[in-house]
């Protein structure tokens, strides 16, 4: 038996205790709660499949599930594509100093509450907002942007875009420039190096950035509620609604567990893909 390394253990202990107390503990409790029952607006400890059967049997649950999955996927695709040119420019076309300032500026939005930033979109997207006012001056009728899926995606991107740009920039800036030049030297035109060399080399970082975007979007309550109009509800909104209507905490727990399982599956797949050595065996 190897002797336990007390030094290492001492340093690791706080994080282990923290994780046990505030993550594993509540998670286990939430799983247990999904089997509880509610009678007369009060929760009773039990081990019944009722909540699971009920939620899985309802169309509105599945509608909400697929909607959330779709919106988070769309947000990930759009954010990744919108961020890439910016990250590319920062990584390859700017000086070290400019890049440092840009990363600093990209972190600044996180100083302000995400909720505040979301509300500020009202002044821009509303029927009488900035965009519609400008469209009005050239004689175009107002476009409805609030309380639409478009609004939700804008909200998601408010949260994720700066982070994705930062992560992508790091991934791209770490690429060995010789490999890009080697591709050019072997007859690869500049625009083609992006797909043939740069993306494969930055693959790990790009996938991790996209994963963060997906996780944040999938679990976000603010954007779909305030900018997306909450109808139909995404899963986080469904959780709130379920707890509010008749104290159905156990059914909300079912939704939460389903969300956890989905995120764990996607995160695991993404990380596996990110670190896989080669695309084809």
Partner 1 sequence: MTALVELEGVVKRFGDFTAVERMDLTIEQGEFIAIMGPSGCGKTTTLRMLAGLEQPTSGTIRIGGEMMNDVPPHKRDTPLVWQSLALFPFLNARENVEFGLKMRGFDAATRKRKALDWLERLDIGEFAERNVDTLSGGQRQRVALARSLVTEPQLLLLDEPLSALDAHLVIRMQSVLTRLQRELGITFVYVTHSQSEAFAMADRVVIMSKGNIAQIGKPRDIYRTPANRFVAEFVGRNNILSGTVTTADAAAVQIETPVGSFTVTPEGPPPAIGQTASFVIAADLVNITETAQNTGNSLSCTLISEEFIGSMVTLFLEAADGTEFKVQVQERALGSLDLKSGNTLHLSWSADNAHLLIGETE
In the list 48, 63, 127, 176, the residue contacting partner 1 (rule: CB under 8 A) is 176
In the list 200, 265, 272, 275, the residue contacting partner 1 (rule: CB under 8 A) is 200
In the list 5, 98, 112, 181, the residue contacting partner 1 (rule: CB under 8 A) is 181
Is 182 one of the binding residues for partner 1 (CB under 8 A)? yes
The helix-helix angle for 50-57 and 59-92 (nearest 10°) equals 80
* Cα-trace Rg, the chain: 23
Environment class of residue 69 by beta-carbon count within 10 Å: exposed (0-12), middle (13-18) or buried (19+)?
middle
Is the CB of 143 or the CB of 182 nearer to partner 1?
A: 182
Q: Which residues share a beta bridge with 43?
A: 38
- End-to-end distance of the chain based on CA atoms, in angstroms? 39
116-144 in b/e burial notation, b at 16+ Cβ within 10 A? Answer: eebeebeeebbeebeebeeeeeeeeeeee
Is 97 one of the binding residues for partner 1 (CB under 8 A)? no
Is the CB of 161 or the CB of 201 nearer to partner 1?
A: 201
| Span interacting with partner 1, options 44-52, 76-84, 95-103, 272-280, rule CB under 8 A | 272-280
Q: What share of the chain is helix, strand, coil (3-state, %, to 5)?
A: 75, 0, 25
In the list 78, 203, 247, 260, the residue contacting partner 1 (rule: CB under 8 A) is 203
What's the token pair of residue 55? 């939620």
Is 277 one of the binding residues for partner 1 (CB under 8 A)? yes
CB of 91 vs partner 1, minimal distance in Å = 18
In the list 140, 179, 261, 273, the residue contacting partner 1 (rule: CB under 8 A) is 179
Residues that bind partner 1 in the complex, under the rule CB under 8 A: 176, 178-179, 181-190, 192, 196-197, 200-201, 203, 277-279
């Amino acid at each position: 038996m190897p002797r336990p390394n007390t030094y290492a253990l001492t340093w690791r202990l706080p994080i282990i205790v923290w994780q046990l107390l505030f993550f594993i503990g509540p998670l286990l409790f939430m799983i247990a709660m999904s089997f509880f029952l509610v009678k007369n607006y009060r929760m009773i400890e039990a081990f019944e499949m009722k909540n699971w059967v009920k939620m899985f049997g309802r169309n509105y649950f599945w509608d909400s599930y697929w909607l959330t999955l779709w919106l988070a996927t769309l947000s990930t695709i759009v954010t990744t594509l919108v961020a890439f040119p910016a990250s590319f420019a920062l990584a390859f076309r700017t000086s070290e100093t400019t890049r440092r300032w840009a990363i600093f500026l990209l972190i600044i939005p996180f100083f302000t509450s995400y909720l505040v930033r979301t509300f500020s979109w009202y002044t821009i997207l509303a029927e009488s907002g900035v965009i519609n006012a400008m469209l009005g001056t050239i004689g175009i009728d107002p476009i409805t942007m609030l309380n639409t899926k478009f609004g939700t995606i804008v909200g998601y991107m408010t949260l994720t875009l700066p982070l994705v740009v930062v992560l992508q920039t790091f991934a791209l800036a770490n690429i060995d420039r010789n490999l890009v030049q080697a591709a050019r030297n072997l007859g690869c035109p500049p625009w083609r190096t992006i797909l043939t060399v740069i993306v494969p080399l930055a693959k790990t970082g790009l996938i991790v950035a996209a994963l963060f975007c997906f996780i944040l979007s999938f679990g976000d309550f603010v954007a779909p509620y305030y900018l997306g109009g909450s109808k139909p509800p995404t899963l986080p909104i469904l959780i709130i609604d379920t707890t509010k209507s008749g104290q159905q905490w156990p059914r909300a727990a079912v939704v939460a567990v389903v969300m956890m399982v989905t995120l764990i599956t996607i995160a695991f797949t993404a990380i596996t893909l990110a670190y896989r050595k080669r695309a084809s065996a």
